[in-house]
Amino acid sequence: MRKRFGKQSVKFENRPVVASTASIVGDIEGAGPLGNYFDIILEDDMWGEESYEKAERKMYEMCVKNAIERLNITSAGIDCLLGGDLLNQLISANYAARQLKIPFLGLYGACSTITESVLIGSMLIDGGFGANIACAASSHFSTAERQYRMPLELGQLATPTSQRTVTGAGCIILSDGCRPDAKKAYSGCSVVVSCGTIGRVIDLGITDANNMGAAMAPAAADTIVTHLNDFNKTVDDYDIIVTGDLGTFGTEMLRDVCQEKGVDLKKKHFDCGAAMFAPEQNTVCGASGCGCAATVVSSYIIGKMISGEIKKALVMATGALMSPLANLQGESIPSIAHAIVLERE
């Protein structure tokens, strides 16, 4: 069977099964419209740790552990952990991997990390290189804010295009077949990854670190249009087209850019970042961060697929490859979006 399609896409012969998922979010995310879908809602975003960074690491580790536990196996049954986070040197993922003792491949795609992980994980499963592969990503409002923008103590006011980094971690375990031992309520034996599109780095010259949506929208548009061309599909072939964390401003921009390219997204598009918070939560343009798509896809989207409400979803997490240093040196903020297609069998 042909596995490579068009310019950037791949199709799986032995379609990896979404065998288990898990999500953990902070209290503000838990109070939002999707709150009921997350597995664990923290009361305190320090989670008993000494720093926000250590709390994020704990979310990452516990999230992977919970997904493994739901599969009724031990961590020794996981062939490989794929993933990362927003922090420099991927400290959440790396230190979690140290505790988990699972072979680990660190990835960095900023907020696109969860679909980058599932895309690579699916290629490894289909290629025969593992029976169970865990894919996970996390972010934390307080760790991201102080690394990428300003010290928290400044109490910086939100700008009109800003988004709130999600405090949360999501894990998706892919398997090379259905796992009948998995706890039924959690496992999604019925959901598979059928194909995907590897993103390119796109840059239209945005330089505002408080406007991630505008930086990421062109990358999302590029990946959607390429995906549809590579497989000769239209928007109508999908029940839903999910983006990671464009927020309300980025969502508008994505729809406009796609419209210009002859792709009408309006009826099918769902942005995790725009859906995460309610307007009265005052997060301006919504949510962002690795944890945004990771938590929403692993809970809400896959949940709706298991229940049969969604049959075919094109899911692309979007990453702004934002570097405070490169920004200070006059560089704009490039972005990337990796897409996967989830199908209910």
Give the x/- contact pattern for a copy of itself in 244-283, rule: CB under 8 A: ----------------------------------------
Q: Which of residues 323-342 bind a copy of itself (CB under 8 A)?
A: 323, 325-326, 329, 331, 334, 336, 338
Calculate the CA dihedral of residues 93, 98, 99, 103 and round it to 10 degrees.
90
CB distance 68 to 78 below 8 Å = yes
Backbone φ and ψ of 122, nearest 5°:
-65, -40
| 200 near a copy of itself, rule: CB under 8 A | yes
Q: Minimum distance from CB of 123 to a copy of itself (Å)?
A: 5
CB distance 83 to 63 below 8 Å = no
| 205 near a copy of itself, rule: CB under 8 A | no
Residue among 164 and 338 whose Cβ is closer to a copy of itself: 338
CB distance 160 to 284 below 8 Å = yes
| 194 near a copy of itself, rule: CB under 8 A | no
Q: Minimum distance from CB of 136 to a copy of itself (Å)?
A: 14
Of all helices (H) and strands (E), which one includes residue 214? helix 212-231
Q: Is the dihedral of CA 151, 94, 213, 29 positive or negative?
A: negative
Q: Minimum distance from CB of 184 to a copy of itself (Å)?
A: 27
CB distance 296 to 34 below 8 Å = yes
Residue 265: closest CA among 231, 238, 226, 292: 238
Q: Minimum distance from CB of 335 to a copy of itself (Å)?
A: 9
| 91 near a copy of itself, rule: CB under 8 A | yes
- Count Cβ atoms within 10 A of the Cβ of residue 47 and give its class: 0-12 exposed, 13-18 middle, 19 or more buried: buried
| 8 near a copy of itself, rule: CB under 8 A | yes
Residue 211: closest CA among 108, 110, 285: 285
Residue among 32 and 334 whose Cβ is closer to a copy of itself: 334
- The amino acid present at 131, given as its one-letter code, is A
| 153 near a copy of itself, rule: CB under 8 A | no
Give the interface with a copy of itself as residue ranges (CB under 8 A): 3-4, 7-8, 10, 13, 50-51, 53-54, 79-80, 84, 87-91, 94-95, 97-98, 101-110, 116, 119-120, 123-124, 126-131, 147, 198-203, 321-323, 325-326, 329, 331, 334, 336, 338
